[in-house]
Amino acid sequence: MKRTILSEFSDIPLDRGILSDRLIGKRRTKRLRRLGDNQQYNGGRVAYFLQQLINGLTLGSIYGLIAIGYTMVYGIIGMINFAHGDIFMIGAFISVITFLVLGALGITFVPLALVVVLLMAMIFTAIYGWSVERVAYRPLRGSFRLAPLISAIGVSIALQNAVQIAQGARVKPMEPVIAGGLTLFTDSNNFDVVISYLQIFIMVLTVVLMAGFTYVITRTSLGRQQRACEQDRTMAGLIGVNVDRTISTTFVMGAVLAAVAGLMVTLQYGVIDFYIGFLAGTKAFTAAVLGGIGSLPGAMLGGILIGLIEAFWSAYFTIEYKDVATFGILVLVLIFRPTGLLGKPEVEKV
């Protein structure tokens, strides 16, 4: 008997996103169990809480960086860029490959390698973001609302499968590049609160990037053009803003941030595969909506909130239902604030 098409559309194995049970969940559960034991014997509650806070902030930074890509694109052309999660996945793959190339070239000095990988991931992922916009979205600008969305879903399916074919379906492991960490303090029950150098790196990089982007958006001519296009594309075009180029730049900026997030995930979790984009993308989009879509600080806030919710839910309740918790909180927030936490209420005009 032939297998049904219904099941064939979904022959991607179950739940393989970042932080899924299969990839990272196991590790995390193991770590949690260890922590849980500590807690049981010693009752290191405050320390345990702080540790989860650090983990949540790290995860939240990553979600926030991806969420900015969604929010910027939504703000400027009002579409959900469904392929953005896959752009992030491509960023992760390019990071891994660049590490391998550097290894083959014999460059092992870690700071240099990191800088090179970061740059390469940004550049090549940006080209992907640019091409996707050029090919799949630009011809659809001005057509009705759902057309670019379907096109984006098509691109997302295509990118996932292209990477699966080109790079293989197996999970790609990475050895830790930045090892070690700081023990912040040890409480009276011998529970160490550790912040790894990698987590510091992730948070610092996120803050730097956020500062940089806020500067670009608020102070530079490019940012002014973007805000102009966001408010009124036709009018912006009339007063001499190159609308096409501004939109392209927006996609490039989103892709650059997604690439950084891809590198961070590669470093932090040490395993990637072609399917990580979907769940990360969904979470990041949730973050963008939670914070109020179209708002940059909102995206970052939403990302951090989602990261914290996941970390704490996994720590104190069940890791299996963390996605349920995330979406549940999203629904709750939207019921009371229909435009998200920092979103501007939409004034509907007739």
Q: Among residue numbers 164 through 223, which ones bind another protein (CB under 8 A)?
A: 164-168, 170, 172-174
Choose which of 34, 36, 112, 154 interacts with another protein (CB under 8 A). Answer: 154
Asked whether the beta carbons of 177 and 110 are under 8 A apart, the reply is yes
CA distance 12 to 347: 42
Q: Minimum Å distance from CB 147 to another protein?
A: 4
CA distance 133 to 329: 32
Look at strands 192-196 and 172-173 and give their pairing: unpaired
46-65 positions binding another protein, by CB under 8 A: none
Q: Minimum Å distance from CB 102 to another protein?
A: 10
Residues 284-323 as x/- pattern, contact with another protein by CB under 8 A: -xx--x---x------------------------x-xx-x
Among residues 100 and 112, whose Cβ is nearest to another protein?
100
Q: Minimum Å distance from CB 181 to another protein?
A: 24
Residues 3-42 as x/- pattern, contact with another protein by CB under 8 A: -xxxxxxxxx-xx---------------------------
* CA nearest neighbour of 174 among 99, 84, 63: 99
Among residues 22 and 224, whose Cβ is nearest to another protein?
22
221-280 positions binding another protein, by CB under 8 A: 278
Choose which of 127, 200, 217, 308 interacts with another protein (CB under 8 A). Answer: 127
Helical residues (DSSP H) of the chain, grouped into ranges: 5-8, 26-42, 45-77, 84-105, 110-132, 146-167, 197-219, 221-231, 233-238, 243-269, 276-291, 296-316, 322-336
Q: Minimum Å distance from CB 38 to another protein?
A: 26
Among residues 172 and 224, whose Cβ is nearest to another protein?
172
Q: How far is CA 9 from CA 12, 160, 246, in A?
A: 8, 13, 37
Among residues 193 and 310, whose Cβ is nearest to another protein?
310
* Count of C-beta atoms within a 10 Å radius of residue 346: 9
Look at strands 271-272 and 172-173 and give their pairing: antiparallel
Stretches 199-207, 224-232, 302-310, 336-344: which one binds another protein (CB under 8 A)?
336-344
Q: Minimum Å distance from CB 32 to another protein?
A: 17
Q: Minimum Å distance from CB 19 to another protein?
A: 13
Choose which of 156, 199, 226, 314 interacts with another protein (CB under 8 A). Answer: 156
Q: How far is CA 40 from CA 34, 36, 192, in A?
A: 10, 6, 15
DSSP state of 186: E
Residues 93-122 as x/- pattern, contact with another protein by CB under 8 A: xx-xxx-xx--x---------------x--
SS3 of 271, please?
Answer: strand
Ramachandran bin of 4, using left for φ above 0, alpha for ψ from -120 to 50, beta for the remaining angles: beta
Q: Provide the CA 48 distance to its chain's centre, in angstroms.
A: 25
Give how many residues touch another protein by CB under 8 A. 88
